[in-house]
Each structure stands twice: as C-alpha cells, then as structure tokens.
Structure 1
Amino acid sequence: MVRAENTQEYMELAAYVVKKAREMGAGQSEAFLINSRELSVDVREGQVETMKLAEDRGLGIRIFKEGRIGFAFTSDLDKQAVNDIIAQALKNSDKTTADDFNSLPETAGNYPQLDLFDPTIHQVPVEDKIALAKHIEEIAKNYDRRITNTERAAYFDVEYAVTLANSLGVAATYKGSYCGAYMDVVAEENGDSQTGFGLQFVLKYRDLDPKAIGEEAAEKAIHKLGAKTVPTQKAYVVFDPYVATNFLGVLAPALSAEAVQKGKSIFAGKVGQQVAASAISLIDNGAMPGQTGSAPFDGEGVPTSETVLVKDGQLQGFLHNAYTARKDKTQPTGNGIRGSFKSMPEVGTTNFYIKPGQVSREDVISQVDKGLYVTEVMGMHTANPISGDFSVGAAGIWIENGKFAYPVRGVAIAGNLLDLLKNVVAVADDLRFFGGKGAPTICIGGITISGH
C-alpha cells in the first residue's frame, strides 16, 4: 500500500533534488516521483491461471539550463544515486539543442480537490478478489446455455502516489487508485462460434458490478450468433459507446497542440471553424470527479481543468503542455501527461469524451429506418490520425424500421474522420467511460457499408 510516511519521504527527497540541482548549476529543475503497486488476477474455468503483484518506484529529474533540457531517471533513491542522476541530467543538457520555449510552467492557481484514493482496494483480501473474478465467470457461463467456454476472467487494481517539486515553488503530492474487471466468453450454436467481452473500470472497489460485467460479455457473444453479411450500400451507422470510444482514440492525437505545431493534425488551421455536426462537443477534463484519468495536477505540476475542444461542432482550441503553450503564446491546459518517471511530459488526454445528448439509446435506434448498429470494429490501428482516413472491419446488428433485425459480420466501413464527425445526426445520453476515454451512442448518416 502507498503509505503516508513514504509520501512525506518523497516530498523531502523532491525538495532535496531541486535544491541540489540549483547548487550544481541548473537554471531550473524539477523532481517527479512515482510509487505504485499493481495486482492482476486471471481466472479460467474456476481456476487461477496467473496472479501478478508488481511494485515500482522511481525519480525523474528535468533540468533547464540556457534553454536546453537535461533529463535522467533512477529507481535507486539512495542519496548518492540521486546525486549521480542530477549530475547526469546536467550532463545530458549539454547534448540537447537550445530552445527559447524550454522552461518550467509558471506556478498558477489552486489544485482541484478530488477523491481519488480508495483504501478498501488494499484492505480487501486477495482471496476475495479471486472470488470476484470467479463470480464474474460463473455469471457469464450461467447466462445462457450457448455460452460454452470462457477465455478469461480478470480482476486488476492499481494504487499510486505522485510527488512533484520544482524550482519555481511547486511542491505537491497526491494518492490515487482504481480497479476493474474483464470477462471474455465464447458462445456456440449450430457450428457457429462467437466471442464477447465485458469490461469495467472504477475508482471505488464497491462500485464494481460483477453481474453487469459477466452478463455484458455473454450478451455480446450471443447477439453475434448466426451473423451474416449485407449488400454494399450507404446507410445509417450507429456506434455503441465502446466503438465510438475507439474512434476517439484516433482523434485524440490530432487535438494535441504538439501535433498541430508539427503539421500532423487534421485540425490544423481550423480553430473557429465548424469541424463536426452541431450535436458534437468534445471535452477533456482532468479534474472530472469519479474518473480514472483525473488528477489534481499534470506531469508538470499544472492544475488540471476542463478544456472544451469542440463546442456544438465548432473547434475551440487544442490541448497544451507548458512547451506548446509557450510556443503558441497561451496557457497550458493541464495536459502534460507522464506515464512513468522514466519519461518527460508529453501532450495527452486525461478524461476525453463526447458530451452526451438528451435522448436515449433506444430513441436513437428507433429513428433509424435502415442501418447498422456497430458493436465491434477490427483494424482501428490502421486509421490515419494525420489524414483522418480509416477503413475498418465491423460487426454488429442490422436495424430495420427502428428495431434490431439480425446480427451482421464480414462487413467494412470506410471514410474520413472529419466527414464522420460532420455527418453525426444524433447523440444519446448514455455516456460510458472505458478508462480515460468515453462516449455515448452516436448515429452517423450516409456511411458506405461494404458487404457482399
């Protein structure tokens, strides 16, 4: 468990690093420490297949000297090792190119108060967590006689503490945790075999819902049995929240100011323009209560906040860390993301989502005369975040006269992300997060579905 005494020790160590770096010749300096513990349990057919417990801790140091950055890291927190990497960071700065925009962010504002740590996650015995994974598997297997096999039932949790101090006066720390579970099953009927999964991430252990996870996995697998292809045609396409979130993963890099500055974004030069249908608003909010991507400050000590990127279809701006903000003569948005003490902050999303609409998923589907409700896409990694072009395999359920008709597979959908955004005709109210990204059900008009 991330103990309070460790947190105090890390605050003292971070302050020491900043002071020592200054004494050794750094113009500006920053110490970033992470202490984390991760547990994962995989169960199959009622037996534990794997169980892993990993702990990690370390220190990353950034120094700024005459416009140059030096970076070094270590997992050895003894005083001599720390002194050595301060010296290494200074030495590394001699090899980098000077840039007037290289500097720590100015200290600004108060940090949001967030409830991110659940002590229950550590207090619950491992045996109970194993039992939870087994219970999810049992629920899925008992859901329907056509569920014949379970590929994997998994439970996982993470606890972490982040500490940051810099030479501009920032000295802050916070603790966080989250847990989740996953279920993957196989359904069979008349020689047809299909898979389905259920997934949930939560901040609080008590919020995990084994029944919902197991039933979701089983239901998805069963709904795909007997699937067939459809003729090639233009029709409405409805993305379920998981599929819509997959597309958000491709869009996210294009809304980074870093990508724009490097000429690698489809949104470059479009601020103030209509880039999506009026039903679409895209938001990133690192201070969002109850979400796993939330934190009081980013990897540079900048307070997190809500950033509206697209409002009612109109592009408002981009995500910034300290460097890109200085380059664009604006303020950082709290999106200097750091996955580890081993890396420097890069521009990234926190809780990135499509703002939900006012109508239910059922209402959206009832308005579709003919179309495809997409529950799965294949090959999303081939989508081009720079041009926006995509072509992915798809599976789902055919819609006729506003009702589900039969399962579909063996089709593909292709197009451009900007065209897709502009053709959104409805957004439902069922926003769902999958980790740090979330979306409701959305309906898009006029997409080509390639079948037989």
Structure 2
Amino acid sequence: MNPEELLEIAERIVGWGRDGEQVEAVVGHSQETEVRVYEGEIESLSVAESQGVGVRVIADGRQGFAHAGTLDTDVLEETLAEARDNAVFGSPDEFFGLAEPDGVAPPELDLYHEALLEVSTEAKIDMALELERAVQAGDPRIVGVESADYGDVVSADAIATTTGIRSSGQDTSCYLTAYSLASENDETQTGFGFSVGREPGTLDVAEAAADAVERATRMLGATQPPTERVTVVLDPFVSAQFLGIIGGTLSGEAVLKGRSLFADRLGDQVAAASVTLVDDPTNPEAFTASDADGEGLATRRNQLIGGGQLERFLHNSYTGRRSGSASTGSAVRGYASTPGVGCQALSLVPGD
C-alpha cells in the first residue's frame, strides 16, 4: 500500500472521533526480504509482508491505546473502540495530549528508491553468495564464514490526529552482513562487516567482505598491554556503542524516569570543548534519516552537546510538556506502541 492509501485510512479513523476526545491513528505497511547463505547454499529465505494500525484516544486526562495487525474496516472500528475503552480505565495525567502542528517544515529527503523493487529475489541471493565468496577469498587465515546475509525493507506509514497532524511517507533500505572466522596458531577470532543503502546497487560487497576479514584477522595474536596511561584510539564501531549509551541518557524520558546522569546539568560543561554531539535525522547521508517523527512532527537537527556544554534534551510532545519545554521532533514508535523518545541519527561532529 502507498502512503496516500494509508493516510486515507488514518483520516477515516480520526473522523470517527467524538466530541471531547483526541484521536490519533498510525498506519503502517512493510515488505521485507531476508536471505542467509552458508557454504554456497541457501540456509534460509523469507519474504514477509505486514501491516497494522495503532489508535490512541485521550479523554478527560486519560489515555487509551490499542493496535491491530490488519486494516480491515471492521477491525479499524474495533481498535478505536478498544482504545476508547482503555482510556476509561487509564490513570489520569494532566500532561497527556496529542502533538499539535508547530510550524516546522519537514525536510526534503530522498528515502524511497524504486530501483529496489526491480531487483529479483535471485539477484538478492546472488549478492549474499558473492559476499560469502569474497570473505573466504580475502585472507588464507579465514577458515569459515558463519553467515552471509542480504536483507531489505520497503515500508510506508501515515499518521493523522484530531489536532491537525497529517503526515505520510515511504522509504527503502537494504543491507549486507557477514560474520567471519579467522584462525592461526590454534587461535580463532571472529569478525564482521556490512554495507547499507537505499537500493542494492549502492551496496558494496567488497567493502563488507574486507571489513569482515580485517576485523577477524587483526585480533589474531593480540595480547593484553601493560597498565599505563596512554591515548586511546577507538574503533568507529566501539565509538558508536559509547555514543548509543550516552544518547540514551539525553532524552527527556530518561530524565523524568531518573535514568539520566545528565539530569539537572543543562548549561553545564559535561565534556571536552572539542565535543559536539548532534541528533540529525534530516541528514540525507544518515541511514536512519526521516522527515517526520513518531507523532507526525517534522524532524529537525538537535544539537545536544555543543563545545562540551549540555544544550538540550530530546523530547516528544508528552515529555516536552512535562518538562516545561516542547517536542524536539524526537518521538519514536511503531504502529504497535505509544510514542517514546530517542535519538534517530546521533553523530559526533568532527573536531579540528
């Protein structure tokens, strides 16, 4: 289904709303392909399609939510009725409320590449097999490839609310991954490599294979260094793990739940002056780029730490309201859940 069809469904549900209640409908549809090969043969192959709807109702300061994995008209009506019933039994919260248009224009991003739809399943299998062969041939110390995978997703979604939100879009994504085994002198190490893109033509088999080989072989013969104070240079993937941990503490949700070490630190120097951390889903080069967040608001570039100083937390409409702030366009969710808060494309700005 295309975004326009999904938006029509969302608007239909919202149109069933009653006086005195806010209604939000999120509709999604996706098709996924996953291929795994092992020793030159297909180990698994799946092509799956899914669709569903999530409905949120807020009335008298109470919130109810329900979702379903089908878009049949009778189920849509039942899902709205269930969300309405759940609101009756929900705990009251003066900060409950749907997002409202804030005047921020969505970025123009090229996230949907129709070329992906034109690639046959056989061609996708061949890419996984090619990746496995490339890893095996990459170094004589490679003794096996645990797995070589190809996967892709074509997704579309839409959201409509009684507060005036209307948003829809679609995107494509695909990836290659390989896990390798290297052995030398009775020692075995593992490594991985990957490549991501919007369509198979942008995937780099050679790069994914080279990374899988290099990450396995470079650990052969590694020893523990003596204890001393030295400069540490982190692998990009190790750095990404650290950033992920830090990013999880920079949300208004984490602050409100007492799970952030940065609570009450706004304006403080929390890092070296060379550190600038941004969450920018408007960046077209980000694999997780998006033009709208989980509440239908336009995404935007949020600088969380600038020159080492903590400048802001990420918010959805609820955490922004509770914190006396506003949404930063950082709501994250699928149709089967209510909005949370999270980083969408976190990165460390290069220093001098």
Same fold (TM over 0.5): yes
Contact 2:252 2:341 in 1 (8 A): yes
CA distance in 1, matches of 2:155, 2:107: 18
Aligned to 2:262: 267
Greater strand share, structure number: 1
Which of 85, 96, 102 aligns to 1:91? It is: 85
How far off is 1:291 after superposition? 2.1
What's the CA shift string for 1:210-239, capped at 9, x where partnerless?
000001111111111112222233322211
2 CA distance for matches of 1:153 and 1:281?
A: 36
Corresponding residue of 1:69: 63
Q: 2:35 aligns to what?
A: 41
Mean Cα deviation higher: 193-202 or 231-240: 231-240
Q: Any conservation in 2 of the 1:280–1:311 contact (CA below 8 Å)? A: yes
The residue that corresponds to 2:132 in the other structure is 137
Q: Which blocks of at least 5 consecutive residues in structure 2 are unaligned? A: none
SS at match of 2:297: coil
Shift of 1:204: 3.4
Q: Could you say which residue in structure 2 is the equivalent of 1:240?
A: 235
Instruction: Give the alignment of 1:211-290 within 5 angstroms.
Output: 211-290=206-285
CA contact (8 A) 1:286 1:294 kept: yes
- Whole-Å Cα distance in 2 between the matches of residues 230 and 12 of structure 1? 62
Give the SS at the match of 1:320: coil
- Counterpart-to-counterpart distance in 2, 1:183 and 1:255: 32
Contact conserved, 1:296 with 1:303, CA < 8 A, in 2?
yes
Pairwise mapping of residues 301-450 of structure 1 onto structure 2 (< 5 A)?
301-338=296-333, 340-358=334-352
Q: What SS is found at the alignment partner of 1:100?
A: coil
Alignment correspondent of 1:125: 120
What do residues 182-233 of structure 1 show as CA deviations (whole Å, max 9, x unaligned)?
A: 1111111121111111022222322210000001111111111112222233
How many Å separate the matches in 1 of 2:209 and 2:46?
22
Residues 1:19 and 2:47 are matched in the alignment:
no
Secondary structure at the aligned position of 2:183 is classed as strand
3-state DSSP of counterpart to 2:6: helix
Of stretches 234-243 and 311-320 in structure 1, the one that deviates more from structure 2 is 234-243
SS of the residue 2:96 aligns to:
coil
- Residue 174 of structure 2, aligned match among 171, 175, 179: 179
Q: Please report how far the alpha carbon of residue 29 of structure 1 lies from its aligned counterpart in structure 2 after TM superposition.
A: 0.7
The answer (yes or no) to whether the contact 1:335–1:350 under 8 Å persists in 2 is: yes
2:161 corresponds to 1:166? yes
Instruction: Give the 3-state SS of the residue equivalent to 1:233 in structure 2.
Output: coil
Whether contact under 8 Å (1:26, 1:90) holds in the other structure is no
Aligned to 1:152: 147
Determine if contact 2:9/2:27 at 8 Å carries over to the other structure.
no
What TM-score, normalized to structure 1? Answer: 0.76
Q: CA deviation at 1:55?
A: 1.2
DSSP 3-state at the match of 2:16: helix
State the percentage of identical aligned residues.
36
1:59 partner amino acid: V
Contact map agreement 1:203 1:290 (CA 8 A) in 2? no
The secondary structure found in structure 2 opposite 1:245 is helix
After TM superposition, give the deviation of residue 315 of structure 1 in Å: 0.4
Aligned residues: CA RMSD = 1.3
Q: Conserved in 2, the CA contact under 8 Å of 1:286 and 1:334? A: no
After TM superposition, give the deviation of residue 106 of structure 1 in Å. 1.7
